[in-house]
Amino acid sequence: MKMIALIWIIMMSLAVTQNVDACVGRILTIGISNSVNEQLLAEIVSQLVSERTGSNVKIVHFNSPQEMYSAVKKGEVSLVIENLDRGSLMVARAQEKPSRAIFDAVKKEYRKNYNLIWFEPFGESQFYAPVVAIDVLEILPALPKLVGKLAGVLTEDTYAKLLKTAKNNGKAREVAKDFLKSRCLI
């Protein structure tokens, strides 16, 4: 019985290692608008991916959503930090109060119209979420599982505190790293 348990543990360890190795040495480019909100969230994703996989992560700031999505279309950006309000506008939906139903509808439209996949939101109420190009998942197959660890981790209160700290000291990278360490994600 002990031998079976040992073999099972070894097999599971190898499966996890292979999945994480699928991102090692790759470059992930995150596109964001010039806002502290998105800078903080991008740094959280960046720190998680780089610490857990060894991949290089680059954050690129854009002046407009059109400029950002143009870069996605050209393959210059792999992942964007998006919010539901702007996402609704991108798929020509009327501005409505963010809800799960709106999120699901926008997610479906992005997949159909832009070949982009919305991951689950970072928090329950702010509806910011990572959005990734489908072709990136072929290069970084472990990305959904890894970034999925961030789904729902930011309560409104926690996010407000992190954002305030990032705004006050101007060091979103340090705030993100401290947050991830406090949640034992890195």
Segment 133-175, tens digit of pLDDT:
999 999 889 999 999 999 988 888 999 999 999 998 889 999 9
More confident: 91 or 118? 118
On the question of pLDDT at 123 being above 80, the answer is yes
Q: Tell me how many domains the chain contains.
A: 1
pLDDT at 176: 95
Distance CA 60, CA 146 (A): 21
CATH number of the domain where residue 140 is located: 3.40.190.10
On the question of pLDDT at 126 being above 90, the answer is no
Overall pTM > 0.75: yes
Asked, for residue 15, whether it belongs to a domain, the answer is no
Band (pLDDT 50/70/90 cuts) for residue 3 is: low
Asked, for residue 165, whether it belongs to a domain, the answer is yes
Residue 117 sits in which domain range?
A: 27-83+109-180
> Alpha helices of 22-152 — where are they, by DSSP H?
36-53, 65-73, 84-90, 100-114, 136-139, 143-148
Band (pLDDT 50/70/90 cuts) for residue 89 is: confident
Question: Are the beta carbons of 121 and 130 closer than 8 angstroms?
Answer: no
User: Which run of H or E residues covers position 161?
Assistant: helix 156-169
Distance CA 81, CA 128 (A): 7
Asked, for residue 92, whether it belongs to a domain, the answer is no
pLDDT at 10: 57
The mean pLDDT value of the chain amounts to 85
Asked, for residue 19, whether it belongs to a domain, the answer is no
